[in-house]
Structure 1
Amino acid sequence: MGKAKKGPKFAVRKKIITSKAIKSYKEEVLNPEKKDIVKEKLPRNIPSHSSALFFQYNTALGPPYRVLVDTNFINFSIQNKLDLEKGMMDCLYAKCTPCITDCVMAELEKLGQKYRVALRIAKDPRFERILCTHKGTYADDCLVERVTQHKCYIVATCDRDLKRRIRKIPGVPIMYITKHRYSIERLPEATMGGGSHEWK
């Protein structure tokens, strides 16, 4: 049998600890006052909570629901031939009270003859009228301010900018129109219809 060929031998290099290495080790590891660089580089461990969890702390929400109605929500309801109160009850499976602020009413009055049907619907006695004490009649700011102070409302709107602003406020559900019917966003099943529902 032939001999197996051996590879070339390499000398193992000895590691020499220099005084400079000892000094840097003392500075980095043994000095308690120095900040831990490794810990600083690690990402902060922030517990991620589902946005739906905000509602378990919002005890003000529950049937009968009070729904703050925006100007464009009434207009889109007319376009989609939806009855506001009936549509809301079909969506939430509970009694609903549509609420309209002075600012929304003033905005509808400013829109003129084109939106006279929307104004007539807004003056319905079934609607709860909410008085505004602040200055100005910009409806979006009025609704955001109201739901920030009192989180007992559902906001009904089709305005993208207003939806974006409402989403930043935890515990406030949004009602909107999709596929010719009302739909609700950010409302847990536990509060719908006065009890939990099992969806099949």
Structure 2
Amino acid sequence: MGRAKKAAKFPAMKKIITKKAIKNYKEEVLNPNKKDHNKEKLPRNVPNVSTALFFKYNTTLVPPYRVLVDTNFINFSIQNKLDLEKGMMDCLYAKCTPCITDCVMAELEKLGQKYRVALRIAKNPRFERLPCTHKGTYADDCLVDRVTQHKCFIVATCDRDLKRRIRKVLGVPIIYVTQHNYSIEGFPEATIGGAPRI
């Protein structure tokens, strides 16, 4: 048998360790929790804040105010025998235009015969009707999306979960029913509790 040819062996390159590499290794071993300043210089993903905000207050809200009305706000107003438009004007001391989205209207229609008075109030021609382009009829998501896109609305609701979600959106005041009156939060010019009832 013939001899097998052996491939020529090339010497392996030795890795050259620099002083900088040794210094970095020592720092990593001695201070494992040290912050990396190179990562901090990268731009952070910060959400854009509206220029109309003065601290947490929205300066673009001027009369006549446009108020997005939720389903339960109409129901609470009926239970407390409050007129929506007059109560809002007493609370804000200015002209108000209640706005009702298609989702809120659909939710009122789904509730059935028990809420027919609330549906009749919502269909009042004095109220502005806002069309919805999204899928589904969940009013809370609709109101939150509309408020985050356009900060020209005040939201009227008595729903705790919806209030909690809207508070996270800066510059959006919330009207709610308390002690047979309308009250507003996140709005510096209005009174708390509204005008006294006569």
Aligned to 1:114: 114
Q: Which deviations, in whole Å up to 9, do the C-alpha atoms of 1:135-192 show, x marking residues without a partner? A: 0000000000000000000000000000000000000000000000000011112xx5
Percent identity for Structure 1 against Structure 2: 81
Q: Aligned partners of 2:65 and 2:123: how far apart in 1?
A: 19
Unaligned runs of 5+ in 2: 1-22, 36-52, 192-198
1:182 paired with 2:160, answer: no
Structure with the largest fraction of helix: 1
- Give 3-state SS (helix, strand or coil) of 2:166's partner: helix
Map of 1:7-156 to 2, 5 A cutoff?
53-55=55-57, 58-156=58-156
Structure 2 counterpart of 1:160, which letter? R
Q: Aligned partners of 2:155 and 2:54: how far apart in 1?
A: 16
1:52–1:188 CA contact under 8 A, matched in 2: no
Q: Aligned partners of 2:55 and 2:79: how far apart in 1?
A: 35
1:89–1:95 CA contact under 8 A, matched in 2: yes
1:104–1:139 CA contact under 8 A, matched in 2: yes
Q: Aligned partners of 1:157 and 1:53: how far apart in 2?
A: 23
Structure 2 counterpart of 1:145, which letter? D
TM-score, length of structure 1 as denominator length: 0.68
TM-score, length of structure 2 as denominator length: 0.69
- Give 3-state SS (helix, strand or coil) of 2:55's partner: helix
Aligned length: 147
Q: Aligned partners of 2:90 and 2:80: how far apart in 1?
A: 15
Aligned to 2:16: none
| Segments of 4+ moved more than 4 angstroms | none
Q: Aligned partners of 1:125 and 1:38: how far apart in 2?
A: 64
Distance 1:52 1:73, change over 3 A: farther
Structure 1 counterpart of 2:119, which letter? L
